[in-house]
Amino acid sequence: MNNVSSKTLDYRSTELLKKKHLSITESRKKILSIFLETKDALAHGDIEKKASEKFDRVTIYRTLQSFVEKGLIHSIPTSDNSVRYALCKDCTEGHHHDDHVHFVCSNCEKTICLDDVVSPKLNLPQGYNADNVQVVIHGVCIECS
């Protein structure tokens, strides 16, 4: 990572934090920068690994939680125990509308948001009302195929 892109990341994270009414702290900027420079979804452990300096585990937990609350990132459903997070495109506090498709590559194990593929409308049985449709597709991603 060179200085220029690092400065840009810092600037972008600061702007995003301001926009979402979160106070600007070093940890938050760093953690948000990790999301900004990563295309795929991150689990708690990935953040620990990717962070150049060491953050306290607890700080990461609390930061992720605030980010989710303020609509900066969203969690992605998985079938195992790992919770993964990715940047929200345009969610607002208390209202997530990340109705896009998530793709999990069975080869490289990465989880990718396919922002352009929107969740389909489905015909549910009488009496069921959908608020939110999450789709997780398992398969082979473009880099592994």
Partner DNA sequence: GTAACTGCAAAATATTTGCATCCTT
Partner DNA sequence: AAGGATGCAAATATTTTGCAGTTAC
Distance (Å, whole) CA 67 – CA 53: 20
DSSP SS3 for 19: helix
Q: Which stretch binds a copy of itself (CB under 8 A): 9-17, 27-35, 55-63, 101-109?
A: 101-109
In angstroms, the CA 101 to CA 115 distance is 7
Among residues 15, 26, 93, 99, the one that binds DNA under rule CB under 7 A: 26
For DNA, the closer of residues 61 and 136 by Cβ is 61
Q: Which does 135 bind (CB under 5 to 8 A by kind): DNA, a copy of itself, none?
A: a copy of itself
Residue 79 is a binding residue for a copy of itself (CB under 8 A): yes
Task: Yes or no: say if 69 and 88 are a contact pair by the CB < 8 Å rule.
Answer: no
* Closer residue to DNA (CB): 36 or 117: 36
Stretch that binds a copy of itself, among 9-17, 20-28, 49-57, 79-87 (CB under 8 A): 79-87
For residue 142, give both structure tokens. 């473009």
What does the DSSP 8-state code read for residue 79? Answer: S
Residue 83 token pair = 């919770």
What is the Cα–Cα distance from 23 to 42, expressed in whole angstroms?
22
With CB under 5 to 8 Å by kind, the binding choice for 131 among a copy of itself, DNA, none is: a copy of itself
Which residues sit at the interface with DNA, rule CB under 7 A?
A: 22-28, 44-45, 55-59, 61-63, 66, 81, 83
